[in-house]
Structure 1
């Protein structure tokens, strides 16, 4: 059987803030069958993840920078890979059968053909059954694992510590703050609207939250919430927010460098770190990628599932519908439009 497979791609490199005109929808004919003996798997994509880090894959210089090449640079016109949930429609791989539900690297398209070694493709974990499929790319996916590993593995979080989370209403931040609360920590988050601030405090149990857009002096604002200093700053923003947070760190404080969305589209304003302060306060700053911690996935999933079932953890999702909505969904990330994990639903399961 042949189908028309539609997919989203970029028209050219994107070096600044993305625009809708940077993207287009292409189509190609796809044979929905796997060649005998090929080890191929053909998937119908159900949900795909929309993540701000992907802008770094679209830049003209991404393929020449080793650090960004590690995040898989994408040239204009190429299929855009992304985490997603899919249904197997044909398989020549012994590990997967028709109608299996799987999660892994698919693409911003209606179908994906996985060839060879099934890179990052696995069946849904039985431990997480009974939850919406979208959770498998959010709370149970890379967003959740990023928050969990960032706090517990990178930050070495201890009970009762003081934690500051930027972009706290985003896909990773809203989970990171709640994970810290499970250990009795004092948690403050910042976000970009009154609605998000209220959500953090009223629904997600953050101790405090503030709208950074209303604060002319971030350094003094953070000082108000952390008069004795910050133990862990979970950084999703970089730039001025990182500078202000470092100024308010305790001795031996830890900065978990997860993302730098303020710098992704504006390379003219990178963080200017106060190295004297970092040295004399013995502050640790460590960047990481979620792929560094796939080995702890079972522990992360058990912890997350248990707290979701007990309702001591909540997850936020922002779901758009249809392939055509992908470009705008992506653009919205850079204007603070999303609340929680941004996902696009492509088909019913």
Structure 2
């Protein structure tokens, strides 16, 4: 843990990418190193210095491990020098910005290191509600939860989840798309009258099968395509004509489009959490050294629940 008198240069453990990744990422593609940083801002700085408490492991981070070329909302990580970045929860140690003060708890984009100097403050949110676990702000109360919350109307619909989630999470049915040999047949079993709404996080063959089973005027919200991130050549989608035949509405969504409604989202979701009406499961790995293994485990389904890395509790 970074320690010492504020203003002194202290040790700062970091997770960096060794080189651009092809195929499935491995723990050895990353390295934990000991860097240094000062915990006191220079006079006139408008940034903040934070102590990172929790880091979020998210599938999109795999995209940034490759060389991203052309226009994209995502940029590549810098191999060999800068730490990985992603969503996290942190405590402000020093601030040069009027919106943040020492001791504030925040969530937003930070670096995979013990302490960070953040200069891009757009998209950082102060945490006002601490009667729920702080780690929740890496997931259900953070960017991912905010995005899914735009589709709260899905609550009460027929839901298919991963195997093992049927009893634990109350899903109606479940199958493993990685092991199912006939995705089209599986969807026809569970949705004999077709699918009204599909929240897309898989892509590839799963999306192809879903297109065949959508109802007329159905809606597809595209948030991710995790089955494609580790492929050298992404799979093609064959059934796009279904968009025409069935007049399907398919949209891509990114969390930063919804920053303006975040307070309203909290007003809806926090009561459900406090009353136990939302079942939320976390898989917490302790210590920054465990970060590479936790992140890599996402792509083999090793985690059960939201994968979080605990750096420090306060």
1:75 match: 78
From 165, 175, 184, give the equivalent of 1:210.
175
TM-score, normalised to structure 2's length?
0.92
1:134 match: 135
2:116 match: 112
Structure 1 residue 347: Cα displacement:
0.9
1:58 match: 65
Are the counterparts in 1 of residues 22 and 232 from structure 2 also a CA contact under 8 Å?
A: no
> Any residues of structure 2 matched to 1:117-266 within 5 Å, and which?
118-124=121-127, 126=128, 128-149=129-150, 151=151, 157=153, 180-181=154-155, 184-189=156-161, 191=162, 197-198=163-164, 200-266=165-231
Q: Report the number of matched residues.
A: 306
2:5 match: none
**RMSD over aligned Cα atoms:** 1.6
2:92 match: 88
Question: Is 1:41 aligned to residue 6 of structure 2?
Answer: no
2:37 match: 30
Structure 1 residue 294: Cα displacement:
1.3
Gaps of 5+ in 1: 158-179, 192-196
Structure 1 residue 269: Cα displacement:
4.6
Distance in 1 between the 2:273 and 2:112 partners?
29
1:311 match: 276
Are the counterparts in 2 of residues 5 and 30 from structure 1 also a CA contact under 8 Å?
A: yes
Distance in 2 between the 1:119 and 1:278 partners?
36
* CA gap 1:268/1:29 in 2 versus in 1, 3 angstroms: closer
Structure holding more helix per residue: 1
Deviating more after overlay: 218-227 vs 99-108: 99-108
Distance in 2 between the 1:315 and 1:288 partners?
22
Please state whether the residue corresponding to 1:308 is helix, strand or coil. Answer: helix
Distance in 1 between the 2:198 and 2:232 partners?
22
> Any residues of structure 2 matched to 1:11-22 within 5 Å, and which?
11-22=18-29
Q: Give structure 1 regions of 4+ aligned residues with deviation exceeding 6 angstroms.
A: none
From 284, 289, 299, give the equivalent of 2:254.
289
Are the counterparts in 1 of residues 123 and 259 from structure 2 also a CA contact under 8 Å?
A: no
Deviations 1:233-292 (A, max 9, x none): 111110111111111110011111111111000143524231332211111221111111
Distance in 1 between the 2:36 and 2:175 partners?
50
Structure 1 residue 16: Cα displacement:
1.6
TM-score, normalised to structure 1's length?
0.84
Gaps of 5+ in 2: 1-7
